[in-house]
Amino acid sequence: MKQLSGLDAAFLYLETPTTFGHVTGLMIFERPSPDYDPYAAVYAKFASLVGALEPLRRRLVEVPFGLDHPYWVFDPNFDLDYHIRELHLARPGLVDQLGEQVCRIVGRPMDRTRPLWEVYVIDGLADGRWALLTKYHHATIDGASGMLMLQIVTDTQPDAPPPGEGPSWEPEKLPSTAELLGRTAGHLARNPFLALRVQARIVGRLADAAGIHSVSSAASRAGDAVKWAAQLGLRNRGSRPNVSLPAITAPPTPWNKTISAHRRFAMRTTSLDNVKRLKDATGSTVNDVVMAICAGGLREYLLAHDALPDRPLRAMVPVSIRTGDEADPWTNRVSAIVAELPTDCADPVERVARCRKAMQDAKRTHELVPAAELVDLSRYSSPVLATAAVRLASRLRLADRVSQPFNVVISNVPGPRQPLYFAGAKLCHQFPVSIVTDGQGLNITVVSYLDRLDFGFIADRELVPDVWDLADMHVAEITRLFEATGAQWAQPPQPPSPRRGPTQKPVKKSVKKQKSTTGRR
């Protein structure tokens, strides 16, 4: 029996009838032989891993009245058949049909009385391939531990031996209400003092960064410390670069509103070698180029919808704070930075330069903040207050009335460079499917694998109905960058995977009576 950290539990508290806290990955495999049975292979593999991987066998036990963070308990009623599911696409099995199935799966909450994971074997893809959709709650894993899970589930050789039975494990008895309340009473008695100790460490870190070396000198130099923190190093102009703080709020966009329970998902792939050519041509990093691709794609989308703000958008970028020394890898160790996206800039090359500077500034700001201590401090938050606040904000639709601190979440996750296999089936792509929340109806996640970058676009179904167009605009931005920089393609651009057709908004009736038309969905 193990209690969730405050950050792990936060992904439970953010859930509402329209917001879900699970993250999903879509892996596409080549079929090694015509008689290959992907469902049997997936079932055998996960059956062998249940005893080895805690996240697969542990379920939640929530504290009565939300007085404390929940606990993990090895499920006494574990049922592997519940977690492994199979479905087939109708012909012709095109990429947007696969995306629609993903939307339906991610648009359903997970059952908290069972371990918080599901896997879906999806067959019937047009090219004879098959897909594996993994759905884990964010309370269980973050991006880095998700990559660890990928390494455990897959093999590095196509002829790896079949999985065995796996280690045995013992289920746990569910704790009684009295036991949970007894534990809670002890935690509530200690938490104020523990929280003060964490706060003291935070103050110490900030003091060290500002050059304050003793408590007695803190009062006399408080004014200097405040000025130093606000200017982020302007006291030492000779050794520290100028860092400008971003705006407090982000400009409005069509997707920065209250979301529904329904999703749209699009996926696209590009060559990693081509992105590296752009990196070399602009003197930036791969991540800078990815951010510039997103800035250009979002700019084109907003221009097409006559909704481009005159100020740059702001992106929240998750950052792992793992050290590698964590005793428990199956927990969240993640922070975030906020950087400007130069969507107000028409020059593609200048957008790369501005993305590079914005990321550098954001990283310097992040280094000033003791992220690990802030994560620890979340352990002492009130679950009942956190849940009530999120649900009240959702009911009042505050996202429609209040400016957001950022416009979009953009993640760039480095993946493996060697081929991976699942029971002999070669992994071709791994498309990430992340989370959207009220006020943040669009999420863009990029994962590298072998020589390519796989983009996953998840959005609210009503706020971004044409998400496939948005995805294609991101791919088109790569061509614009090559044309603007004069760089040579490492690989010729490939046509996108075919789909049935563009998804369009229904045409609303005007005041005058007109024949209504709808696009195919």
Whole-angstrom distance, CA of residue 372 vs CA of residue 319: 11
Q: How far is CA 360 from CA 13, 83, 285, 338, in A?
A: 32, 42, 11, 11
- Per mean pLDDT, which of 237-251, 275-289, 356-370 is the most reliable? 275-289
The model's pLDDT over 503-521, given as tens digits with 9 standing for 90+, comes to 444 444 333 333 333 333 3
Whole-angstrom distance, CA of residue 420 vs CA of residue 418: 6
389 — pLDDT class (breaks 50, 70, 90): low
The pLDDT of residue 214: 46
Is the pLDDT at 362 greater than 70? The verdict is: yes
Is the pLDDT at 221 greater than 50? The verdict is: no
Is the pLDDT at 363 greater than 70? The verdict is: yes
Closest CA to 201 of 379, 372, 334: 372
- Per mean pLDDT, which of 236-240, 282-286, 515-519 is the most reliable? 282-286
Q: Are 162 and 423 in contact (CB under 8 A)?
A: yes
Is the pLDDT at 216 greater than 80? The verdict is: no
502 — pLDDT class (breaks 50, 70, 90): low
The pLDDT of residue 390: 67
Is the pLDDT at 230 greater than 50? The verdict is: no
The pLDDT of residue 234: 40
The pLDDT of residue 97: 95
Contacts of 136 (CB under 8 A, 6+ apart): 22, 23, 24, 55, 116, 117, 146, 149
In this structure, of 26-30, 170-174, 214-218, 250-254, the range with the lowest mean pLDDT score is 214-218
The pLDDT of residue 237: 42
**DSSP symbol at 247:** P
The pLDDT of residue 351: 97
Catalytic residue numbers?
Answer: 138
Nearest 5°: the CA angle 371, 211, 193 is 50
Mean pLDDT of the chain: 83
400 — pLDDT class (breaks 50, 70, 90): confident
Listing DSSP states for 48-108 in one string gives HHTTT-HHHHEEEEPPGGG-S--EEEE-TT--HHHHEEEEEPPTT--HHHHHHHHHHHHTS
The pLDDT of residue 467: 97
Q: Are 210 and 225 in contact (CB under 8 A)?
A: yes
More confident residue, 412 or 210: 412
More confident residue, 207 or 35: 35
The pLDDT of residue 398: 75
User: What's domain 263-417+432-485's superfamily in CATH?
Assistant: Nonribosomal peptide synthetase, condensation domain (3.30.559.30)
The model's pLDDT over 420-458, given as tens digits with 9 standing for 90+, comes to 999 999 999 999 999 999 999 999 999 999 999 999 999
Q: Are 76 and 172 in contact (CB under 8 A)?
A: yes
The pLDDT of residue 92: 92
The pLDDT of residue 367: 62
The model's pLDDT over 80-116, given as tens digits with 9 standing for 90+, comes to 999 999 999 999 999 999 999 999 999 999 999 999 9
The pLDDT of residue 181: 82
The model's pLDDT over 329-338, given as tens digits with 9 standing for 90+, comes to 777 767 788 9
194 — pLDDT class (breaks 50, 70, 90): very low
Whole-angstrom distance, CA of residue 429 vs CA of residue 455: 10
Percent of the chain whose predicted confidence (pLDDT) is above 70: 77
Averaged pLDDT, 207-227: 44
226 — pLDDT class (breaks 50, 70, 90): very low
The pLDDT of residue 391: 67
Long-range contacts of 440-443 (CB under 8 A, 24+ apart): 440/255, 440/256, 440/259, 440/404, 440/406, 440/407, 440/408, 440/409, 441/255, 441/256, 441/257, 441/259, 442/255, 442/407, 442/408, 442/409, 443/408, 443/409, 443/411
Phi then psi for 96, rounded to 5 degrees?
-75, -25
The pLDDT of residue 320: 73
Secondary structure of 490-515 as H, E, C letters:
CCCCCCCCCCCCCCCCCCCCCCCCCC
Is the pLDDT at 228 greater than 70? The verdict is: no
Q: How far is CA 345 from CA 308, 351, 460, in A?
A: 11, 6, 26
